Each structure stands twice: as structure tokens, then as C-alpha cells.
Amino acid sequence: MNEKNDKCAGPPCKRLKQAAITLFASRPSKVVEIADKPSSSASSSELDGDSAEAAKPKSTLKPAIVDVIMHPNQPRNREFPSKEYCGKHRRFKETYFDNHKWLHWEETEQSVYCHPCRNIRVLGLSLLAADRSGDNAFTVNGYQSWRTPTTDFQKHERSEKHKECVAKWVHHISGTDVNTQLSAEKSKQQITNMHALEKIFRTTVKIARQGLSLRGHVEDEGNFMQFLHLVAEDNVDLQTYLASSQRRKFLSHDNQNEILSVLSHQVLRSIVQNVLTAKHFAIIADETTDESRKQQMSICLRWTDEDFSVHEDFMGMYEVAKADAETLSSLLLDAITRFGLNVKHLRGQGYDGASVMAGNETGVATRITAIEKRAMFVHCSGHCLSLAVQDAARNVPLIRDALELVKDVVNFIRSSPLRLRNLQSLRQQFCEEGTATPSLRPLCPTRWTVRVSSIKSVLDNYVALCVALLDTTETSRDDAGAKANGFLRRLESFDSYFAMQASLAVLEYCEACNTMLQSTKITTADAKAAATKTADLIHSMRSDTFFDKMYADCEKRAEDMDIAPAVLPRPRRIPRRLDDGADPLTYDTPKDMYRHRFVELIDHAEAAIRRRFEQPGMELACLIENTLTDAATGLCIIILLCRVVGLLSMFVHAVC
């Protein structure tokens, strides 16, 4: 029956064990005297079949009154009593005290006990470990069998009951119970985790600040884990956190996204608080398409602080379900509401010039102005200038074709490493000693400040480009050879070379203005003044002196590079259905034809710039800025009053 109970009494689960420790540790520790009762059965370690003394009947085991013993009795330099086993005398050895510090020699019984296990029994503390009868020799009856003492000592030392008694005895003599020890350990663990979590947050912020990805194809090889391992080299708390398999909760991708979300919300709250302090603000929005081909609306807020410093803060990207005026205006108003801002404090709108955004009847700007009439719409200055350049190039076919040629040739060469290496070697051959020729720069129609550098790179490598295209034409047997032959023929014509030089002359002024418009300190009045100055400079090129000099320079360089001379195109017969009876436009010389194309480019560019920058909202914003700056500098009060009257009339006209 005892064997069956011992078999069923397995160790409890860990959670139950922790709960029981907390329950039993709350009992007060005290020194008590108890009369131990012998167990109903004896184990093989406490009873020896060969010894009559070991097989004592239960009636001979006298109850003993024992007290708590603070220090174990371990006598030295003496001879312990012996027992005879199979004709050999065996006794307790002094070296057992050195190998097992917990042994206690009881002089009255001539036996040994386990010091912590016996004291815990005397104190009456409950144990979670199973109480097996074989352990009574070290706690109740005393161990006296010297046949295999080393084996029995080791077996007892490895038992769960002994380990639990040692832990409780240490807690008892230190004056703290298990509950207090668990609380202290929990607090220490929380502090360690808090320090590690702080490093995790700082690492996430730094990676996000640098625009790096957190995870890779393998999680442990990503930037996040590699940075953490680097920081952990000098941080013990983080080392402990990373080494624990049960505490990797805050290292998962879900927690990384949550940390980034918390950080982004905190940044947004900080920006919104600054905007609320400033009270009035403007909104800037533009629609774009991301890599997954989803339309998204980027939203920025523009506001001014107490020092009149202008701030533009990016607020986020919002997916657009439908790119119509009603959906976009609702999205902007919803974003303003979510930010906790009042649309009545909106004083400016900045969008592109598309009809959906800037339409006079049902555009986004018109819809928001209907809600808040003081929210003036101003088309982006840089976008206005870029659209003006595109309008001018589209209206002159010669210039339009030249810009497309530059883009296609550069992309054709750069798309093949073989063709690019061939061009680089040819460029070194044709380059004059001591001079550096720039490499080819791609031309992007949507970027405002790369057109000039791309055209210059083609003009500087003109001869090397022609030779490289000729080599590709002769050596390539696929469609690349046909493309190279077409590009070569167009580059060898005077039309393309002159169009590139004419485009460069106009675009240099526009690109200088675009660079100025991208400054964070420029005002609306300064932007309009810069655009007006650019239009004036372009108009100044509309003179015979400038054209004659440019044309002569083109002819000389074309002759040096073996480009075909300028010729008049063959007259084309006008179709009868398009013939209105008027005489077709003819030119006496090729120079007159190119003069007409150049003047046409100048007129279109100048007109487009002036038209794009003549906006009601921009005029009103310029007048407000000039009035405020003049008042700050102490301008005559009469002039200021006149400007205020004009400002009020313009404002009434704009809102009505």
C-alpha cells in the first residue's frame, strides 16, 4: 500500500508549486518542540537486514524531544563507533563532513541527520516535495547504516525534498519568508526587463530614424537583431533578456510594428500640439502611387511659431479609394478632424494644378473654400515652373523631340554594362588631357532640377556617344543594333544638336529659379519675384544678337564633330482637305528657320511662366506679406492704409 502511494505521489506542476510556496511561506516561522513518531515502515537505507540493530521493532524507537539546531555538529579528530558487516567493521568517517556540509552528528544516538531537513521538520513548515519514507532516516530516526553511506548521502542530497528544505532554512535564518524573496526577485526581474526594453525602444528609434528595414529574410540576421546584439555587448541586462527564451515577446515583428506605431503617434501628437499653439495653419497635399500600385495622398501641415519661423511637417500617407474631388476633399477634412484641429483655423491650401484639385467649379480647393472662405489656395511654385517648362517644350516639336532623344539615349547606354564600359573607354580617348568629362545623367521628366545636367552630359560626350552607338550598330545583331542606328542618325543631324543647345539656354535659367524656390526660407512674394525675373531673363534672349552668337557657335561645334550642316527641309504638300488657300510658311535660309523655332520656344516659356504664377491666391498672399513686412519696417502709414484697403477689396473678391 505504501509503494502504491509513493508511486502515485508524483511531483506537482510548476505553477502549483509556486502557488503552494506562496501559501505556506506566509505561515510564521517559530521554534517548536515536537515528539516525533516513528514511521510505519523503514527503507533499505535505514534498515540493514544483516544487522539486528538496524531491524529494531517499532516499539523500541523512543520518541525524542528535539529543538532547532542553528549549526550542525561535526566533531573532528575522533573515532566514531563501528558496526560489523559481513565480517568487516565499518564506521562513519570524518571526511563525510567535508563532502556533505549538511550532515549533523547526534552524540546521544550515535547517528547522523540532515541538518536543514531536520530543522524544517521541527519548525513544522509544510513541504511541496513528496514525503517518502526513505528520507525519515535523515530527519526522524537518524542514519546509522555504514555499509553504503556515500551512495545514501548522494541520493538524499539530490532529492527534491532536501533542496526545498535547504532553501526554506536559508530563508528562515535570513529573516525573510518565501513571499518576500519572490517579491524581491520579481522586482529585480522587472528592473532588468525595463532596462532591456529601453534599449529595444532606442534601437528601434535609431533604425527608423535612418530609414533602415528592421527585419531581413532571416530574423536573426536583420538590422534589428544585429543592432541589439551589438548594444548587448556593453549591457548585461540586455544580454540576460536576449539569452532568455521566455522573454522574447518584445522582439517579434508584431511588437516592432506596435513600437513604431506608438512612436509615430507620439510624433503626431507633438506636431499637433505645436499647431494648436500656433492656432492657424495651412495644409499641403499631393497624390502619388507607391510600389504596390496603390494611390496614396501625402498630407503636410504648414504653420508658424512665435518667432515667425515657418515649419512644414509631414503627417502621413493615406490610401485613396477613388481619385475624385469629393473623395479627396472628404479625406482631407477627415484628416484635419482626426488631428484634433479646427477647419475654421485653416488659412491656406497647397496642391498641384490638376483639375481635380484646383478646378474652379468642383475642385478640392473650391470645396474646402466653401467651408472656410479664408483658406486660400496657392499652387505650388516649383510645380508651376516645372509645368511651364513642360508646356513650352510640348508646343515646340523640335525641342520636344530633342528632350525625348536625350532621355532615350541615356537610358539605352545605361541599361547595358557592356555599352556603358565601351562609352567610358571612348570618353577617356576623346577627353582632353587635364579635363574631366561628366558621365551620363538620366533625364527624369518629373524631377525639376535634373534636365540641365542630363543635357549637359550628352553634349559633353557627344562624339564618344556617336562612336559608341556606331560600334553597337556594327557589332550587335539584335534589336539593340537597330535602336543604336536610329539614335546615331538623329544625333548626327543638326536639328538635334541645335535643339539641345537651345533647350539648355532656356532651362538653365529655369533650373536656377527652381533651386531657389525649394528653399525653406523663401516667401510667396520672393517666389513670385523669382519667377518674374526668370521670365524677364528668358525674354532678354529674344534678340538677334543672342541668337546669332548661339547659332554661330552651334555651326562651329557641329563642323568640328562632323555633324551634318543645317539644311532646309523638303517642302511638303499640304493635303487638300487642310489647304485653306494661304501661302505656306517658307524660309530663305536654315538660319531663319532655326531663329523662328528658338523665338517660338522663348515666347512659349515666358508666357507659360507668367500665366502659371498669376494666381488670385498668390497675389493675395504676396500683398499680405508685403503689408506685414512694410509695417514692421516702419513704412509710411498712408501707404500702409492704401495697401490695407486694397488687401480688403482683394479678400472680399476672393471669398465672394
290-349 pLDDT, tens per residue? 777 888 999 999 998 888 888 899 999 998 888 889 999 999 999 999 999 999 999 989
Task: Count CB neighbours of 538 within 10 A.
Answer: 23
Question: Given this model, what pLDDT does residue 585 score?
Answer: 73
Q: Which residue has the cell 479609394?
A: 321
Give the pLDDT score at 603. Answer: 94
Compute the CA torsion angle 39, 42, 47, 52 (nearest 10 deg). 70
Higher-pLDDT residue of 399 and 619 is 399
Class of residue 576 by CB neighbours under 10 A (exposed 0-12, middle 13-18, buried 19+): exposed
How do residues 165-215 score in pLDDT, each as one tens digit? 998 888 888 776 656 666 777 788 888 888 888 888 899 889 988 888 888
- What are residue 105's phi and psi, to 5 degrees? -90, 125
pLDDT in tens, 516-563: 888 877 888 888 899 999 999 999 999 999 999 999 999 999 998 989
Give me the mean pLDDT over the 236-263 stretch.
81
Per-residue pLDDT, 134: 59
Quote the distance between the C-alpha of residue 650 and its chain's center. Answer: 46
pLDDT for res 52 = 36
pTM score, whole prediction: 0.62
For residue 650, pLDDT beyond 60 = no
Residue 369 pLDDT > 60: yes
DSSP secondary structure, 347-380, as one string? EEEE--S-HHHH-TTT-HHHHHHHH-TT-EE---
pLDDT in the model for residue 446: 64
pLDDT score at 430:
76
Answer whether 321's CB lies under 8 Å from 300's CB.
Answer: no
Of 165, 152, 76, 80, nearest to 115 (Cα)? 165
Residue 69 pLDDT exceeds 70? yes
DSSP sequence for 220-232:
GGSHHHHHHHHHH
Above 60 in pLDDT, residue 615?
yes
Give the pLDDT band of residue 411 (cuts 50, 70, 90): very high
- Residue 253 has a pLDDT of 83
Domains and CATH numbers, the chain: 2-175 (no CATH), 180-251 (no CATH), 281-377 (3.30.420.10), 385-570+586-614 (no CATH), 615-656 (no CATH)
* Gap between the Cα atoms of 216 and 305, Å rounded: 41
Residue among 275, 286, 285 nearest 340 (CA): 275
Q: What is the mean pLDDT of residues 365-386?
A: 88
* Band of pLDDT at residue 582, cut at 50, 70 and 90: low
